[in-house]
Amino acid sequence: MNNAPGDLGDDADRLLIDLAAAVGTDSLHYADVPVRFTGGFFATVVRFRLADPPADLAGWLVARLMPDEEFTRRETQVQRLVAETGFDTPRIRAFGDGSGTLGQTWSVMDAVDGSPMIDDLDPKTILRVLPDLVASLPRRMAAMAVALHNASPAELREVVPSRTPEEAADWLELDLDPQRAARVRGNELMVEELRRAVLGLRRTAPTADTLGPSRHVLCHGDLHPFNVLTTDDGTDVLIDWSEANWAAPEAELAYTSFIIGHPPLDLPPLVMSAVQRATRPIGARVVSEYVKLSGRTIDQGLLDWWTAFHAVRMLSFVARGDAQIRTHPWFGLQDRLAAIIASATGVTVHRRVR
């Protein structure tokens, strides 16, 4: 994430008031001006430290301000329980349910003194670090997935969504309901095509009996290099638990291997084709490294099904987004996502028109 100019205005003071109430102290004061970061597409992310703080709020902290209480509460609970297992993710210090002066939910956690595996999506940056990514990225991402799946706190079974293929298709269908489609001006056809793709996924979905729910683990749901911060001592720290779910390992690996194999870059077609020829094997190696490190067997048919599911999910997000969606990395992946959907379901999905 990068520093953003400007400040929070009155929200900075409101956050202090709500944080003080949450930890049971009369008042708190900033030691420095809070710094707002870019990088949270839906969240406001702020780094700060307090002057003369209580012991549990010492050091540099990060606050995530989110508009949805249920969403933030679940994300915070997941991160807290995962951190308690010893998995490398920031420790949660406090939570606010939106009933305070700030008027929105928030969480405060330890700040990570590190930088993203990949600093940004600038093509020159990607091309510069590509040799190092080829060498180390697949094993690092696989190791993180293995550690998380092995930890899988049992308490979270009742907290995060369960995602069998049937449940995943139900979720997509709800996400693409006709009332929402009617509100997406100019993209109604795309949404209807995606609804037909969901029917195709249902026809090919493996049954729960075939999968064996005992294989299901806690999945991060958004495991990619931009959600990993690497500290100076080389520790990889996973952040952003908003998409956590309980599913087969293939659900996690399908998404992670796709994102790594198809970096969302704005490049001329010929250059992009060359980059993807180099990155697709990196994505595939995430799966093979996971098998080596975990000893688990990965079902290729199930992996392919989840890849198609994620393609529909990502295009659903693009189709229903507002004008800001054009800045989201998934927007530039529409052609590749549509190709995956067509191959898996026989449904052609056209690009978002505006």
Helix (H, G, I), strand (E, B) or coil at 130: helix
Shortest CA distance to 287 belongs to which of 157, 145, 147?
145
Architecture of domain 115-345: Alpha-Beta Complex (3.90)
Q: Identify the residue with better confidence: 123 or 343.
A: 343
Architecture of domain 2-111: 2-Layer Sandwich (3.30)
Residues 252-311 have pLDDT tens digits of 999 999 998 887 766 677 777 777 777 888 899 999 999 999 999 999 999 999 999 999
Residues 63-100 have pLDDT tens digits of 999 888 888 999 999 999 999 999 999 999 999 999 99
Residues 166-212 have pLDDT tens digits of 999 999 998 888 666 555 667 888 999 999 999 999 999 887 556 66
Residues 113-125 have pLDDT tens digits of 998 877 655 666 6
* Mean pLDDT in residue range 233-247: 95
Residues 294-309 have pLDDT tens digits of 999 999 999 999 999 9
Is the pTM higher than 0.85? The answer reads yes
Shortest CA distance to 75 belongs to which of 41, 99, 115, 109?
109
What is the domain partition of the chain in residue ranges? 2-111, 115-345
Amino acid at 21: A
Instruction: Please indicate whether the domains covering 2-111 and 115-345 agree at the CATH topology level.
Output: no
